[in-house]
Structure 1
Amino acid sequence: MEFRTVVEVDAPGFQIEPLESILFVGSCFADKIGRRFEEERFPVTVNPFGVMYNPASILHTVQRCDAAPRIAFFTLGTNHVYRLKETGEIVDNCQKRPQRLFQEEELTIDQCVDYLSQAAEALHRRCPDVRIVLTVSPIRYAKYGYHGSQLSKATLQLAAHQLTKEKPFVSYFPAYEIVLDELRDYRFYQPDMLHPSDQAVEYIWQRFVEAYFSPRAKHFLQEWKPIKEALGHRPFHPESDTYRQFMEKTRQQEADLLARYQSEQRI
């Protein structure tokens, strides 16, 4: 018997190659997944101007940075925005200023689509081959109330769905659905019962690799794994010559592996 429902991940129509440069913009969930790519030695840019929770702030980051990647991730956290009353602009960070200076608003589905569309088109102009992956963060926002949090997520899901229909270079990865519908258990959350646990993030990573990575990229991960584990080894005598020689050998293996895949990318 099967005691869970497995969320199907649609084929995205492209594959991520080894050591691809990738841009991550969005909620703290983008930080977690982006850092995982970084651990696997992908040259990533992760939230260069800080965590961005809503579609308007994601657009602001894309406009401010000059990245032109072939792969970009937009991780949507909320449709709630804060507008500075004095200027009317949506701010990305309140910078601990008094709450009375801001007006909280909820973006509509169409507004979310518009901001995300502008961000997607900006990257498309820089790199016509760009592929953008949308995700909705599985992090629950208790401050809205749980019904309010679900409404916010539903707005983002509808906006993401609409954008994938309008732009063939945009796809959707169901991170939210995997946590809520497939894992569906508080043991996959951190102690605050709001943020996914490291185990949940690892499972989402595995599901993503299965669907989005090319065979060469998967092979790279296999070759990199023992070197990564060796680099993370914590010895009893880190000052010993034996350990120093071990680390020098391991770092050389890392350099050789990266150089080989980088040279293959240029061919």
Structure 2
Amino acid sequence: MEFRTKVKIDKPDFEIEPFEDMLFVGSCFADNIGKRFVEEKFNAVVNPYGVMYNPASILHTVARSEAAPRVALMTLGTNHVYILNETGEIVDNCAKRPQRLFTERELTIDECVGYLSEAVELLTGRNADVKVIITVSPIRYAKYGYHGSQLSKATLLLAADLMVRKYPGRVTYFPAYEIVNDELRDYRFYASDMLHPSQQAVDYIWELFSEAYFSPAAKRFIEEWRPIKEALGHKPFRPDSDEYKEFMNKTMLKVKALSKKYPKFVP
């Protein structure tokens, strides 16, 4: 018998290679996944101007940055935006200014698609081979009320689907939202606030993502790097002992060998 529903992940028509140039923009979920890519030595830029929750702010980051990645991942958190009344512009951060200075409103599906399309076009202009992965953050926004949060996510899911249809071969969708809410349907996969995915859930999503998107070379490098990474992160009880010095000498020899095998590898 099967006691859970498995989310089907479509295999994309491209693969992520080791040390790939990547850009992660979006909600704190993009931060969580992006940091894992940095740990695994991908050339990843993660939210260079801070966490961005809505499609307009994601566009703002892409426009401000000079990144020309081969792979970009955009994580959509909400369709709610804040408009500075004085200028009529959507702001990315209210910077703790009084609420009365802003008007909150919700982007429509078409508006979300418009902002995301502009971001894709900017990236394509910088790198004609760019591939864009869109995800919807599984984190619910309690402040909207849970029904309001679901409506916001529904808008983003529909916008993401339209983006995949609009840019076939360029844009793909990774079902992070569905994995958490349909496959990991249990509070043990949530952090203490019962809203954010737990580290175990993030690790599981990482495994599914890597299986779907990583090339054999990327998977092989990660397996070779893992024991060395763990050794470098080891905190000894006696750092001045001869045993630890010998352990580190052997580890550095492994680092040197890995650098020789992978010229792009930077410890």
- Bin the TM-score by the shorter chain: over 0.9
Match for 1:242: what amino acid? E
8 Å CA contact 1:18–1:261 kept in 2: the answer is no
Query: How far apart are residue 252 of structure 1 and its match?
Result: 4.0
* Residue correspondence of structure 1 range 122-161 to structure 2 within 5 A: 122-161=122-161
Query: How far apart are residue 255 of structure 1 and its match?
Result: 4.2
Query: How far apart are residue 39 of structure 1 and its match?
Result: 1.0
Question: Aligned partners of 1:74, 1:204: CA distance in 2, in Å?
Answer: 15
Question: Aligned partners of 1:23, 1:120: CA distance in 2, in Å?
Answer: 12
Residue of structure 2 equivalent to 1:58: 58
8 Å CA contact 1:75–1:134 kept in 2: the answer is yes
Match for 2:110: what amino acid? D
* Residue correspondence of structure 1 range 6-45 to structure 2 within 5 A: 6-45=6-45
Question: Aligned partners of 1:105, 1:154: CA distance in 2, in Å?
Answer: 16
Quick one: structure 1 residues 263 and 67, their matched pair in 2 at CA, closer, same or farther if it must change by over 3 Å? Answer: closer
Query: How far apart are residue 261 of structure 1 and its match?
Result: 2.1
Residue of structure 2 equivalent to 1:110: 110
Question: Aligned partners of 2:34, 2:248: CA distance in 1, in Å?
Answer: 26
Query: How far apart are residue 245 of structure 1 and its match?
Result: 3.7
* Residue correspondence of structure 1 range 45-124 to structure 2 within 5 A: 45-124=45-124
User: 1:15 is paired with a residue of what secondary structure?
Assistant: coil
Question: What is the TM-score with the length of structure 2 in the denominator?
Answer: 0.96
Query: How far apart are residue 18 of structure 1 and its match?
Result: 0.8
Match for 1:170: what amino acid? V
Match for 2:85: what amino acid? K
Task: Work out whether 1:253 is the aligned partner of 2:265.
Answer: no
8 Å CA contact 2:78–2:156 kept in 1: the answer is yes
Match for 2:123: what amino acid? L
Cα deviation, 1:111-143, whole Å, max 9, x if unaligned, reads: 000000000010001000000000000111000
| Number of aligned positions between the proteins | 264
Task: Work out whether 1:242 is the aligned partner of 2:243.
Answer: yes
Query: How far apart are residue 263 of structure 1 and its match?
Result: 5.9
8 Å CA contact 2:19–2:264 kept in 1: the answer is no
User: 2:23 is paired with a residue of what secondary structure?
Assistant: strand
Query: How far apart are residue 7 of structure 1 and its match?
Result: 0.1
User: 2:36 is paired with a residue of what secondary structure?
Assistant: helix
Question: Aligned partners of 1:263, 1:70: CA distance in 2, in Å?
Answer: 16
8 Å CA contact 1:19–1:262 kept in 2: the answer is no
Residue of structure 1 equivalent to 2:230: 229
Match for 1:180: what amino acid? N
Identical positions, percent: 69
Quick one: structure 1 residues 258 and 37, their matched pair in 2 at CA, closer, same or farther if it must change by over 3 Å? Answer: farther
Q: Let me know the Cα RMSD of the aligned residues.
A: 1.3
Task: Work out whether 1:163 is the aligned partner of 2:163.
Answer: yes
Residue of structure 2 equivalent to 1:211: 212
Query: How far apart are residue 243 of structure 1 and its match?
Result: 1.8
Query: How far apart are residue 257 of structure 1 and its match?
Result: 1.5
Cα deviation, 1:144-196, whole Å, max 9, x if unaligned, reads: 00000000001000000001000120000000000000011110000100000
Question: What is the TM-score with the length of structure 1 in the denominator?
Answer: 0.96
Quick one: structure 1 residues 129 and 177, their matched pair in 2 at CA, closer, same or farther if it must change by over 3 Å? Answer: same
Match for 1:235: what amino acid? P
Query: How far apart are residue 240 of structure 1 and its match?
Result: 2.4
Deviates more, 1:95-104 or 1:240-249: 240-249
Query: How far apart are residue 259 of structure 1 and its match?
Result: 4.3
